[in-house]
Amino acid sequence: GSPGREERGAEDRAKHGGRVRCFPHERGNWATHVYLPYKVQEEFLELLDLLVSHARTYVSSLTAMEEFHISLSQSVVLRYHWINPFVQSLKERLASYDRFFCVANQMKVYTNQNKTRTFIGLEVSAGHFQLLELVSEVDKVMEEFDLPTFYKDPSFHISLAWCVGDLTGSLEGQCLQELQDIVDRFEDSALVLRVQWEQIRCKSGNKFFSFPLR
């Protein structure tokens, strides 16, 4: 069978005159990431707007993310000819997992590893165990391909906004507490922050593969 279900954006097809490209001779390195995609609802965008506009009173350069997810892997680099076997291996390992809920309602400040970017995000407070189970499967695939596994003791979260530089000092403390108050008071928060995950996705270069949870 085909590995995962491959999805292509409409703009991708438009760019190539409606042809679906295949790359018989493509070489090079493909940035690859495994994650749980978050389906955005209107209420979530309202909450996002409240949070980002408040956080901007502390750090004016914050930019809202355009898509939202919980990462199950680091961003790794795959050779083109490894993509299909990698996706096939993911598909086999993830096939038996069920849909599950998690709650992401704790505001937190993050930086990337070399502290060149700062993020505000919603940390998972329930559902951590199921996320760790998925990561352990993804990690096994990474090991098969000699790629870096996920962080030890991860903080699972949905990133909401980012800025350049290490601005942890400006965003933690008072700002973070005020952001948490906004989350706690938001009337639709239960609806928005209790998430049922229905699929896992792998993005490699400009290709997307989906693995439905049962």
> Are the CB atoms for 68 and 159 separated by under 8 Å?
yes
> Alpha-carbon distance 203 to 128, whole Å?
23
Decide if 16 is catalytic.
Answer: no
Question: Among the options 16, 33, 54, 69, which is catalytic?
Answer: 69
> Which residues in 174-191 are b (16+ Cβ under 10 Å) and which e?
ebbeebbebbeebeebee
CA distances from 90 to 108, 137, 144 (A): 30, 8, 11
Q: How far apart are CA 214 and CA 208, in angstroms?
A: 19
> Is position 54 annotated as part of the catalytic site?
no
- Phi, psi dihedral angles at 140 (to 5 degrees): -65, -40
Instruction: Name the residues annotated as catalytic.
Output: 69, 157
